[in-house]
Amino acid sequence: MAGLEGMEQPRPESTPAAAGWGTPDGDADTAVPRQATGPARPVSGLDLVGDPTLDEVRLPSRPQSARIARRLTGCALLKQWSLTPQLTEHAVLLVSELVGNAVRHTGARSFGLRMLRRRGWLRIEVRDPSRGLPCLMPVHEMDTSGRGLFLVDKLSDRWGVDLLPRGKTTWFEMRIGDR
């Protein structure tokens, strides 16, 4: 597992195509929630804020957004992609940690959440306008904070940070069993 000491080098163009990750129909830098059409149906979180598996979803940089991001992650991984409950639980926890860092440490008004899947891998990204790098710190038994990246490092297969011209994308990847 790699922390920052083994992070990938920033790419000149940090897009799904540049990284070999596909997004169907769309530009990765815009997030326009899709409008529901057709007969009335129950409203899900994806209908309200957009689908992070199709495009980046922008959320306000407030503590309440962590709950929305967790819900979006759970919905996408369990319902759309039929991934295992344990993998989903771990991904939801890690999303909460990355969102918490974006809200707490960047001073931004909003952040972006995106989920990508390719054969055998799940990648989740949180993008914010700060170029300040997260730091993996040693964790001690009595610590009451600072465990977020430690958890990301332990529960993901890979994680890193891509510096962008205006900000950064913090991401993690997990191996998945494709059927």
Bridge partners, 175 (sequence order): 121
Is pLDDT of 106 > 80? Answer: yes
pLDDT at res. 108: 86
Average pLDDT of 149-161?
A: 94
Q: Considering only residues 81 and 145, tell me which one the structure prediction assigns the higher pLDDT.
A: 81
Is-contact 23 116, C-beta < 8 A? yes
Q: Would you kindly state where each structural domain of the chain is located, as residue ranges?
A: 51-134+142-179
Residue 124 parent element (H or E) = strand 121-128
Check pLDDT > 70 for residue 129: yes
**Bridge partners (DSSP) listed for residue 113:** 57, 126
Interval 7-28: pLDDT, tens: 443 433 444 444 444 443 333 3
Find tokens 């990204």 and name the residue. 125
Is 93 or 27 the better-scoring residue by pLDDT?
93
CATH superfamily for domain 51-134+142-179: Histidine kinase-like ATPase, C-terminal domain (3.30.565.10)
What's the rounded mean pLDDT across residues 59-68? Answer: 94
**Do 110 and 103 meet the contact criterion of CB atoms below 8 Å apart?**
no
Residue 73 has pLDDT above 60, yes or no: yes
- The Cα 87–Cα 37 span in angstroms is 32
